[in-house]
Amino acid sequence: MATDTDGRTGIEGLSALVTGGGSGIGLGAAKRLVADGAHVTICGRSEDRLKGAVDQLSALGAATYVVADVTVEEQVAHAVGTASERTGRLDILFANAGGSFHMGPLVDADLEAVRATVDVNLIGTFLCIKHAAPVMAAGVAGGEGGSIIGMSSGAGHFPHRYLWAYGAAKAGVDMLCQSAAEELGKSGIRVNSVQPGIVDDELMAPITAGGPLLDDYLAEMPVSRLGRVEDIAAAVRFLAGPESSWITGDNLAIDGGHHLRRGANYGLLFGE
């Protein structure tokens, strides 16, 4: 990590892997990392989407992509290997890939939808950390540490009605990152997670377009506005770089203070 004579630091020349990097927050974070000089590899399941994203990223700096499903261990290992090829190291991992396949009452839940939600969020993040950490640790011997950022959610920190499967999986991500921080600190690796609130991106567009659920979100936020992809990307960039070199095991809320009040009521989507 570069340090100038005034003590300012940067991520120029570092290698980063961003999962789920083809759109939304993942792409926004990748743009920020590339713009600040990192060599960024994005991964996801849709090659067409990844190609389009890399076209955008390449206008800012060094970027490539690899097709990978974070729930498949061999593909995760391949993605980590690809991300470390250019410099021989992996310095930054943003384990961003996730999603929700179930919404609704617990007693009516479909097992496979719940299992898929846990797999893509919790198991996917676990596999990314499992394979990234040894590569990062090897880089420490050359004087560099590593930073891992997991993608959690406000739904994993406080209940959002009917979003419990996603929330439980994200709560698992937070605990996973804390546990990994405790284990990996001796190897020079920091691990944190981010807990975004509602962000105006493609994933949340049906809600951010307006309606009772959006009104409910905004009423419970001290800073009452939609989040921007750039808000999350800035936090990821901070946690990725040496500016946060003494921060590990933190679950950072980026939600306009939503966590100070109550979670969103997704029952409004069911006419409740």
What is the amino acid identity at position 163? L
Residue 166 falls in the annotated catalytic set: yes
Best CA proximity match to 147, nearest among 48, 244, 255, 252: 244
Angle formed at CA 179 by CA 88 and CA 41, multiple of 5 degrees: 30
Q: Give the CA count within 13 Å in the CB-facing half-sphere of 240.
A: 32
Angle formed at CA 57 by CA 198 and CA 246, multiple of 5 degrees: 60
Q: How far apart are CA 223 and CA 218, in angstroms?
A: 8
- Which one-letter DSSP state was computed for residue 104? S
- Which one-letter DSSP state was computed for residue 163? -
> Other CB atoms closer than 10 Å to residue 178's CB: what's the count?
18
> Which residue is catalytic, options 162, 166, 217, 266?
166
Q: How far apart are CA 272 and CA 266, in angstroms?
A: 9
Helix, strand or coil for residue 149?
Answer: strand
What is the amino acid identity at position 150? G
Give the residue numbers marked as catalytic: 166
